[in-house]
Amino acid sequence: MGERNGHLVIIGGAEDRIYGKKILARFTELAGGSQADIVVITAASGLSDQMWEVYRQAFGELGVINVSHVEISSRADANSERTVGMLSRADGIFMTGGDQKRLLALIGGTEADRALHAAFRQRGAIIGGTSAGASAMSGQMLASGAAVPQPEKGAVSMAAGLGLLQHILIDQHFSERHRLGRLLTAVAQNPCLHGVGIDEDTALVIERGVGIEVVGEGAVTVVDGRHMHSNLAHIADRENPEMIDVRLHVLPAGSRYALPTGGRADALPASMLDFLRKVINPHPHA
């Protein structure tokens, strides 16, 4: 297939798996089409076998010949030669929904974790994740938090994620579960991060070092609080903070942005350009 940059397909959950399967079809196309070797990680789900059957059927209907299940129910499984071998050969790796804390408890810091990073960064494989599998992709992830109607100090808690993305925080089922207040809370508490809210049946597709596109039926909402003025440090838990000069971008399905070249850096607003550079940055700690 030639050299690949690597892609992340970050899905807000509840993607169409029955009809047009637009997002899963795009994932399959990026992985190499019907001949691609695709593996499905169901570790986030407590109903692993049922979840596997859903995606086995969906990818099968898309014509994928080689689709297999990476069964991880313990950290021993995540460190096994079988698991590492499957991840090391895969063109596309797909992480299902469930509970992102469960997913990290099973694979965080294991050989499977390292194999995921190697697949993406060294081989240019496609890494996809939906719902919990999407939240887990970032270096810091939302572990819990109610959908508060407005920002509320202490309403969310964070945990370490897989780190396929850095400086980004992902929330899913975004518009459908009214999670803007939750994402604003997370950004108020962590203003160095860009908050990214992804609607259901919608994916943010990132090509490493190149650009992004939004696929599906909804939108991606980006919250930038780096230049924000806030009184969060001076209020009590469960109080509502002031958040002044917060930047917000809404990218509907069909939006596409590539890193400007040839001196055209002013083609995008500075805030959007900075977000784009962060999500496509091939050097995670830069």
Any residues with CB less than 8 A from the CB of 284 and at least 6 apart, and which? 139, 163, 165, 166
Query: What is the spatial distance between Cα 38 and Cα 17, in angstroms, rounded to a whole number?
Result: 16
Catalytic residue among 7, 167, 173, 194: 173
Supply the angle between the helices 81-89 and 111-121 in degrees, to the nearest 10: 10
Residues 148 and 182: beta-carbon distance below 8 Å: yes
Phi, psi of 88 (to 5 degrees): -75, -20
Please give the Cα distance from 179 to 211 (Å, whole number). Answer: 26
- Most distant CA pair in the chain: distance in Å? 57
255 belongs to the catalytic site:
no
Q: What is the DSSP string of 17-67?
A: -SSS-HHHHHHHHHHTGGG-EEEEE-TT-S-HHHHHHHHHHHHHHTT-SEE
Considering the candidates 15, 200, 207, 213, report the single residue annotated as catalytic.
200
- Using CA atoms, how far residue 5 sits from 10, 29, 47, 127, 241, in Å, is 16, 14, 33, 12, 41
**φ, ψ for residue 144 (rounded to 5)?**
-165, 160
CA distances from 135 to 234, 245, 286 (A): 29, 26, 21
| 131: annotated active-site residue | yes
Q: Which of 131, 135, 138, 230 is catalytic?
A: 131
Query: Any idea which residues carry the catalytic annotation?
Result: 131, 173, 200
